[in-house]
Amino acid sequence: MSQAAVEVPPKGGFSFDLCRRNDMLSKKGVPLPSFRKTGTTIVGLIFQDGVILGADTRATEGPIVCDKNCEKIHYMAPNIYCCGAGTAADTEAVTEMVNSQLQLHRYHTGGRESRVVTALTLLKSHLFNYQGHVQAALVLGGVDVTGPHLHTIYPHGSTDSLPFATMGSGSLAAMAVFESKYHEGLTREEGINLVCEAICSGIFNDLGSGSNVDICVITKGHKEYLRNHHMPNPRTYFHSQGFSFPKKIEVLFTKVTPLKEMVGVIEGGDAMEE
Amino acid sequence: MTKQQANWSPYDNNGGSCVAIAGADYCVVAADTRMSTGYSILTRDYSKICKLADKCVMASSGFQADVKALQKVLAARHLIYQQQHNKQMSCPAMGQLLSNTLYYKRFFPYYSFNVLGGLDSEGKGCVFTYDAVGSYERVGYSSQGSGSTLIMPFLDNQLKSPSPLLLPALDAVTPLSESEAVDLVKTVFASATERDIYTGDKLEIVVLNAEGIRREYIELRKD
């Protein structure tokens, strides 16, 4: 009978084995690799016919902009969209995962339109399971048979159901606009303008948000994804002729080292032994 | 009782970028006008450029409170120099003064990344670049601040003299004309603004030449 313990495969979730090593390395001055976050402004509001979601388009890696025009409004179902703030990889992964789960669920339940609360429960239970390590802060909105819904989901798994919501580093700037100007029964035009204003407030006053405004309008039986609906930040200066890069690399010193000795072959040589 | 490391810092970084380029008979010094803290903007209209002497201009990014204090110290020392020598300080002299002033606070530094530009006693453009504690060098061009990692490689590509190992030695000062240098500065800041969140709003360009000092402003992205 073998004395060694049976090798059990890991149960999934995060493995914290390397935490001690990382701690030791950072004490020695080795920095952790940075990851791409969407320092962001995302908003949602409920208007008279449904839900409008909005987002900026800047993705940052610390102080540097790594994507000037990324997409933060993710597709979940034909009638449900989700804006994501936080670590870009986490928001992408979690929304794609729930998107496919919703599709499978639709197949299993006779093709009925997905409900927003279904997406909400799937997202919040996943995030709670990971105890906040999956850093995704989401604004989920959609219209289903029970009506229009708008929810916010925090990285630890708590949710709120609200008539208007903002998340991300620019959430305060956007919320200031909403709190001043939001009222019930907004028309589609008023709603789109208000969302645009809130995102612009985040774009210009928050350094983590910038570039363009994406908008998604969801109503009963119909959705409209307005990519780059507003582009208030064109490049300010173009050099007249463009730049040329003529400078060659100066050769300072050349040395050729043969790796294999050149061997000359002599015809004839010793006759073979009989 | 659990012990905790003290986490109050006397420093803050207000962001921004500065550039200076020396020409045969001119010098261009430029900086953006955004002052920020963390993810917020404090003001879109703050000048990081200070005239120290008739032919000497300094641009500084970093902690603006320390920059302001440094500018005051240099202005006072310049006044004393003028009383004692009956003339304005030359740019190389001011360069040395700035280095000494920074090193004086070697163990509680000015959090200030400076670039000094002006005309030397022969009327040729000169640029001095500094670190926070006063190490300096005369160069043909330089950039400091949050956008310097984006700006410097491009300036190297466009302006860098060929390797110093090549003989005969070539001058560090750029052969570009004044308007070409100003154009280069505008392009470089427009590009840095695209990718650095701390750079933007407006660009202030100061040009020194034999006729005097000229100032120009252009708009940058405000997001």
B165 at the A interface (CB within 8 A)? yes
- In B, minimum Cα distance to A67 occurs at B195
Give the pLDDT confidence of A57-84 residue by residue, as tens digits.
999 988 999 999 999 999 999 999 999 9
Cα A34 to chain centroid distance, Å, stands at 15
- In B, minimum Cα distance to A243 occurs at B158
CA distance A248 to chain B (A): 10
Q: Which residues in chain A are closer than 8 Å to B5, comparing Cβ atoms?
A: none
A248 at the B interface (CB within 8 A)? no
Q: What is the pLDDT of residue A250?
A: 77
Instruction: Please give the DSSP secondary-structure letter assigned to residue B54.
Output: T
Cα B217 to chain centroid distance, Å, stands at 16
Q: Which residues in chain A are closer than 8 Å to B187, comparing Cβ atoms?
A: 237-239, 243
- In A, minimum Cα distance to B39 occurs at A207
Q: Which residues in chain A are closer than 8 Å to B198, comparing Cβ atoms?
A: 63, 207
Q: Dihedrals φ, ψ of A4, to 5°? A: -70, 145
Q: What is the pLDDT of residue A261?
A: 80
What's the one-letter identity of residue A77? A
| Dist. CA A96–CA A139, nearest whole Å | 15
Residue A7 has pLDDT above 80, yes or no: no
Instruction: Please give the DSSP secondary-structure letter assigned to residue B21.
Output: E
Quick check: A235 and B187 CB within 8 A? no
Q: What is the pLDDT of residue B168?
A: 58
**Helix B64-85 and helix B91-104: axis angle, to 10°?**
130
Q: Are A78 and A223 in contact (CB under 8 A)?
A: yes
Residue A4 has pLDDT above 60, yes or no: no
Residues of chain B with confidence (pLDDT) below 70: 161-174
Give residue A3's pLDDT band: very low, low, confident or very high (50, 70, 90).
low
State mean pLDDT over A216-222: 95
Q: What is the pLDDT of residue B61?
A: 96
Q: Which residues in chain A are closer than 8 Å to B41, comparing Cβ atoms?
A: 205, 207
CA distance A205 to chain B (A): 6
Quick check: B190 and A247 CB within 8 A? no
A27 at the B interface (CB within 8 A)? no
Q: What is the pLDDT of residue B56?
A: 95
Quick check: B221 and A247 CB within 8 A? no
State mean pLDDT over A250-265: 85
Residues of chain A with pLDDT > 70, as a percent, come to 90
What's the one-letter identity of residue B184? L
Give residue A153's pLDDT band: very low, low, confident or very high (50, 70, 90).
very high
Q: What is the pLDDT of residue B165?
A: 63
**If we measure between CA atoms, which residue out of A107, A40, A118 comes closest to residue A73?**
A40
A267 exposed, middle or buried (CB, 10 Å; 0-12, 13-18, 19+)? exposed
Kindly report the three-state secondary structure assignment for every residue of A66-114.
Answer: EECCCCCEEEEECCEEEEEEEEHHHHHHHHHHHHHHHHHHHHHCCCCCC
Q: What is the pLDDT of residue A240?
A: 74
Mean of the per-residue pLDDT values of chain A = 89
Q: Are A137 and A154 in contact (CB under 8 A)?
A: yes
Q: What is the pLDDT of residue A239?
A: 77
Q: Are A198 and A174 in contact (CB under 8 A)?
A: yes
Q: What is the pLDDT of residue B3?
A: 83
State mean pLDDT over A117-129: 96
Quick check: B36 and A207 CB within 8 A? yes
Q: What is the pLDDT of residue A129?
A: 95
Residue A252 has pLDDT above 90, yes or no: no
| Dist. CA A9–CA A204, nearest whole Å | 49
Among residues 143-162 of chain B, which lie with CB inside 8 Å of chain A? 146, 150, 157-158, 160, 162
Block residue for tokens 């000094």:
B116
| Nearest beta carbon to residue B223 from set A169, A211, A245 | A211
First to last CA, chain B: 46
| Dist. CA A245–CA B157, nearest whole Å | 8
Q: What is the pLDDT of residue B43?
A: 96
Q: Which residues in chain A are closer than 8 Å to B190, comparing Cβ atoms?
A: 235-238
| B49-53 sheet: strands from edge to edge | B49-53, B56-62, B112-119, B125-130, B136-139
Give the pLDDT confidence of A167-215 residue by residue, as tens digits.
999 999 999 999 999 999 999 999 999 999 999 999 999 999 999 999 9
Give the pLDDT confidence of A87-103 residue by residue, as tens digits.
999 999 999 999 999 99
State mean pLDDT over A37-57: 91
Q: Which two tokens stand for residue B73?
A: 């110290």
Q: Which two tokens stand for residue A7?
A: 């090798």
| B212-219 sheet: strands from edge to edge | B141-145, B17-22, B26-32, B202-209, B212-219
- For residues A62 and A156, the model is more confident at A156
